Amino acid sequence: MKGTAEIIRAARAAGIVVPAFNIPYLPMAEPVIRAVRDEDSFALVQVARLEWEKFSSRSLEAVAEEFHRHEDPAHVRLHLDHVPVVDEDQRPVDFLPIIRRAIAAGYQSVMVDGSRLPLEENIRTAGQTAELAHQAGIPCEAELGAVLGHEEGPLPPYEELFASGKGFTDPEEARRFVRESGCDWLSVAIGNIHGAISKAQRDQKKVEARLNLEHLARLAEATGIPLVLHGGSGIRPEDVRQAFTLGIAKMNVGAEIRQTYEAALRESGDEERAREAVYRRTRELIRETYRISGSRQRL
């Protein structure tokens, strides 16, 4: 059986993507896995620290337990998303014990997010995490640049952000970061934004983002490793699909299916209907937006 690192490298070489679906509510895991299997595609199922802190996924261990109840290794693997070194509320996080817990729980790849740190510190913390991950035989994802959206309060006007390139990942910094940290995948900022997580804004539709594809091409050339697109919900589909051919091998999908689950549960009060809504939306994304039905056979 191929390892997760090998599969993501194959996706980059083939110019297709492995979507990574976030699980802020435990009942979402089963319909996501079922949808991926029924489209004969390949995906990661993942949870971020903020999803057990601010939503209802309970813990990384609870998500692992739910994943293992339904797992299908031919179609899905388990990934630990966003473990920040400094979180969205600007608080320091004791991140290495969380990484160790994930490895013990059977996660097949992990991510550390030191993007709020100065470059030198980000490289150092990514290197520490990569060393732990590699000792366990699994890949490590890190982040460089500012993918906004998780912070409290409204974002600056999107068009202003995009035009200025504020927070975009710098290609030369990325080259150095990958070389010195030893990370396997790099999350980059190229116009993408996270879905809001504050209670006042989490139900709001995301701004339709777009991607600076020329900047992405420069990052792909500078780094030579699979790149990751966070904030994958709500980006123009044509930009997303072109990004897959320019080095984006993994793309995080959170708000798209989370809001589907929340809206269906709110309207029906029926968890099974909410699960089925997630199932249908996940299949739709795989088939129509990402156009990766049948991708398992290519990976």
The per-residue pLDDT for range 64-88, each reduced to its tens digit, is: 999 999 999 999 999 999 999 999 8
Whether 208 has a pLDDT exceeding 80, the answer reads no
**Per the residue annotation, which of 38, 81, 89, 239 is the catalytic one?**
81
**152-198 residue pLDDT tens:** 556 667 666 766 667 899 999 999 999 999 999 999 999 877 655 43
- As a whole number of angstroms, the distance between CA 247 and CA 286 comes to 18
pLDDT above 60 (res 199)? no
Our answer to whether residue 38 is catalytic in this structure is no
Residues 243-265, mean pLDDT to the nearest whole number? 96
Which of residues 233 and 168 earns the better pLDDT score? Answer: 168
Q: 177 is written with which tokens?
A: 């970061």
Catalogue all structural domains in the chain, each as residue range(s) with its CATH number: 4-298 (3.20.20.70)
Provide the token pair at 242: 């072109």
What would you report as the CA-atom Rg of the chain, rounded to the nearest whole angstrom?
17
pTM of the entire predicted model: 0.92
Can you tell me the distance from the alpha carbon of 198 to that of 212, in angstroms, rounded to the nearest whole number? 27
